[in-house]
Amino acid sequence: MRPINMKIAILKKRLILAAMVAVASLAPMVHAAAPGITGTGTAGTFNLTAQTAYLTQPDGQSIYSWGYGCSTAPDSGSFAPSAIAGGFCNTMQVPGPTLIVTEGQTVTVNLSNGLPSSAGNTSILFPGFQVTTSGGAPGLLTQEAAPGGSVTYTFVASTPGTHSYYSGTQGDLQVEMGLFGAIIVLPSSVPSACTSGLPAKNLAAEAHWGEKDFRLSQAAYDHAKTCYDREYLFQFSEVDPRIHSLALAQVTALGACTAGAAGCSLQVPTEPYHPAYFMINGRSMPDDMDPNYAYQYPHQPYNGNPHLHPGETVLLRIIGQGRWQHPFHEHANHVRILARDGNLILSQSDDTLLAGPALFTTTTTPGITMDGLFYYTGRGLNWDMYAHNPTSADPLATLGCTPDANGYNTGDPTAINYYEWCQDHNKPLQAAPFGDVASGGPATLPDPNILTNGAWYGGSPYLGANATARAVGTTGTTPPSGTIANSPGGEAGFAFMWHSHNEREITTNNAFPGGMMMMMLVDSREFVIDESN
Ligand SMILES: [Cu+2]
């Protein structure tokens, strides 16, 4: 993982972050996006299987689990977004493969049941869609695949947005064991608003700095207010290891019993429920900060590691996949909710306007999906986060800021301080500043040579090219750690913790830190966010 500037977040969560940073240093690189597959053979056709495997946890445990995977390898061109290389779809993964389809497309899912015979039938529900089935055996909620058998589900992807899929058979056990995944339905058309104005400027900024486009689409819905610049999918789930251990013990004891024969079934109580692992996209922190498709997680391919630049509109796709609610808190700003369960929330009197709430905490609820928009600009900091100083000899410190109608510097998308909040331009952070900044700010920081934060401390409260170098301390020329891990040319973003606000859920088997936690990084505009791997 690249160096990060922890300052702002530390003000809020100092202890948590201090511990976090130590752990985060184990993670080699950071990647994100919303990777998935678009189908095999024909687009919209998915050959899935339900199988067993062990999931890895950061405390060293391997959890016997069930999950959906690909029964036949997807075509190489089927992995999306194309900007991410190295995608794979094993026969079992948690969450199941993210199915990426387009509005109006006919989706066919062929499911074969590769679970142990004692596990019995399995199935998939596609809530929100009109599903027809062929083959399989009748079940309580849908047609099911018997052990060794298969079933086919067909539906039209009628609604854009983020949707979930999960087992419709003995859900208290099968969903807990890992049988769930996501469907992303892309809108059939892109609103013109997404290719002009600020969205076009953001794209121009991306191109100027040589960044790839990792989006699956340009809009979440057929609506001008749903354009976005980046997107991330977060699936929340938890694991009660007692249930998994019992399932494994019984599956092992029953061996290759004949499916449906007397005694060939599991009797695993799913209450009382005491989860000990709390996962985002199937991984606990810090594993979720490793890349997508990292080789050490053959059955947990997706990560949770959002990056963004100031001013970018980021689409968050959030799904509650477990059986508990999790208060997902996105630090740094509220999230404007676009839709729930694929239903766009619009004003009743003017359907050109969004009407979803701006939420401090996007609480995940079992079975519910949310789409929301997030952005960060630094507005309201009350200091210049780029450390501009009109009296400096450094040209990077004397950049201009011309406010647009909303107060942001958006005239030139190639500017390093594109999207700066101009009211704070040239305002220093410190009353008694260190480094190359003008004096008179609202706060006094301790000398960075005294406040030593280890190898990951950027040594600067500022974003941007060489801001670290310019923010030298009064007792030295360079912040103590900047010379080691955080070179002035390296990543010096602001890090914000995104996590469950139920703080027991940011543990892994009761050890802190872990669980449902990740770091969102605000990177300066010129830093190239590379989500590929
Ligand atoms: Cu929080």
Of 8-17, 84-93, 189-198, 325-334, least confident by mean pLDDT is: 8-17
Q: What are the tokens at 137?
A: 């055996």
When pLDDT is averaged across residues 315-328 and rounded to a whole number, the result is 97
Q: What are the tokens at 506?
A: 């940011």
Is the per-residue pLDDT at 320 higher than 60? yes
- pLDDT at position 85: 85
Per DSSP, what are the bridge partners of residue 369?
Answer: 319
Do residues 213 and 345 share a domain?
yes
Report the predicted TM-score, pTM, of the whole model to 2 decimal places. 0.90
**Residue 112 φ then ψ, to 5°:** -110, 140
Contact of 195 with 214, CB cutoff 8 Å: no
The predicted-structure confidence for 348-401, as pLDDT tens digits, reads as follows: 999 999 999 999 999 999 999 999 999 999 998 888 888 888 888 888 889 999
- pLDDT at position 459: 62
Do residues 228 and 131 share a domain?
no
Do residues 441 and 385 share a domain?
yes
DSSP H or E run through 102: strand 99-102
Q: How far apart are the CA of 393 and the centre of ligand 1, in A?
A: 39
- pLDDT at position 234: 97
Cα angle: 227, vertex 232, 237; to 5 degrees: 135
Do residues 153 and 245 share a domain?
no
Is the per-residue pLDDT at 454 higher than 70? no
Q: CA 65 to CA 480: how far, in whole Å?
A: 45
Q: CA 517 to CA 408: how far, in whole Å?
A: 31
The predicted-structure confidence for 215-271, as pLDDT tens digits, reads as follows: 999 999 999 999 999 999 999 999 999 999 999 999 999 999 999 999 999 999 999
When pLDDT is averaged across residues 279-302 and rounded to a whole number, the result is 95
Do residues 107 and 212 share a domain?
no
Range of the domain at 143: 36-187
Q: Which of 127, 154, 187 is the last residue of a domain?
A: 187
Q: CA 396 to CA 416: how far, in whole Å?
A: 8
Q: How far apart are the CA of 463 and the centre of ligand 1, in A?
A: 22
Q: How far apart are the CA of 93 and the centre of ligand 1, in A?
A: 29
Do residues 434 and 357 share a domain?
yes
The predicted-structure confidence for 407-418, as pLDDT tens digits, reads as follows: 999 999 999 999
Q: How far apart are the CA of 331 and the centre of ligand 1, in A?
A: 6
Question: Cβ of 75: how many Cβ atoms within 10 Å?
Answer: 14
Contact of 332 with 370, CB cutoff 8 Å: no
Do residues 243 and 360 share a domain?
yes
Q: How far apart are the CA of 185 and the centre of ligand 1, in A?
A: 30
- pLDDT at position 388: 87
**SS3 call for 329:** strand
Do residues 131 and 231 share a domain?
no
Do residues 198 and 338 share a domain?
yes
Between 508 and 458, the higher pLDDT residue:
508
- pLDDT at position 210: 93
- pLDDT at position 469: 67
Q: How far apart are the CA of 210 and the centre of ligand 1, in A?
A: 33
Q: How far apart are the CA of 513 and the centre of ligand 1, in A?
A: 14
| 277-280 and 230-239 strand pairing | antiparallel
Q: How far apart are the CA of 190 and the centre of ligand 1, in A?
A: 34
Q: How far apart are the CA of 213 and the centre of ligand 1, in A?
A: 29
Q: Could you tell me which of 451, 426, 454 has the C-alpha nearest to residue 440?
A: 426
Is the per-residue pLDDT at 430 higher than 90? no
Confidence of residue 449 (pLDDT cuts 50, 70, 90): low
Query: How many independent structural domains does the chain possess?
Result: 2
Of 111-115, 301-305, 336-340, least confident by mean pLDDT is: 301-305
Confidence of residue 438 (pLDDT cuts 50, 70, 90): low
Q: How far apart are the CA of 454 and the centre of ligand 1, in A?
A: 23
- pLDDT at position 392: 83
Of 10-14, 172-176, 274-278, 430-434, least confident by mean pLDDT is: 10-14
Q: How far apart are the CA of 498 and the centre of ligand 1, in A?
A: 7
Q: How far apart are the CA of 8 and the centre of ligand 1, in A?
A: 13
- pLDDT at position 5: 37
Residue indicated by tokens 């009797």? 267
As a residue count, the chain comes to 533
Q: CA 208 to CA 213: how far, in whole Å?
A: 12
Q: CA 469 to CA 451: how far, in whole Å?
A: 17
Q: Which residues surround ligand 1, an ion (CB under 5 A)?
A: 329
Torsion, Cα 112 117 118 121, to 10 degrees, reads 30
Range picked from 77-86, 336-345, 477-486 for highest mean pLDDT:
336-345
- pLDDT at position 476: 47
Is the per-residue pLDDT at 487 higher than 90? no
Q: Which of 139, 156, 187 is the last residue of a domain?
A: 187
Q: How far apart are the CA of 499 and the centre of ligand 1, in A?
A: 6
Is the per-residue pLDDT at 490 higher than 70? no
Confidence of residue 41 (pLDDT cuts 50, 70, 90): confident
Mean pLDDT of the chain: 87
Contact of 309 with 211, CB cutoff 8 Å: no
Radius of gyration of the chain measured on its C-alpha atoms: 24
- pLDDT at position 15: 32
- pLDDT at position 395: 87
Q: How far apart are the CA of 243 and the centre of ligand 1, in A?
A: 30
Do residues 174 and 209 share a domain?
no
Between 134 and 442, the higher pLDDT residue:
134
DSSP H or E run through 7: helix 7-24
Is the per-residue pLDDT at 481 higher than 60? no
Q: How far apart are the CA of 275 and the centre of ligand 1, in A?
A: 21
Confidence of residue 188 (pLDDT cuts 50, 70, 90): very high
Torsion, Cα 25 26 28 32, to 10 degrees, reads -80
Confidence of residue 88 (pLDDT cuts 50, 70, 90): very high
DSSP of 330-384: ETTS-EEEEEETTEE-B-SS-TTSB---EESEEEE-BT-EEEEEE----TTSSS-
DSSP H or E run through 14: helix 7-24
Q: In CATH, what number is assigned to the domain containing residue 132? A: 2.60.40.420
Do residues 126 and 236 share a domain?
no
Is the per-residue pLDDT at 47 higher than 60? yes
Do residues 168 and 237 share a domain?
no
Q: How far apart are the CA of 329 and the centre of ligand 1, in A?
A: 5
- pLDDT at position 42: 80
Q: Which of 158, 187, 216 is the last residue of a domain?
A: 187
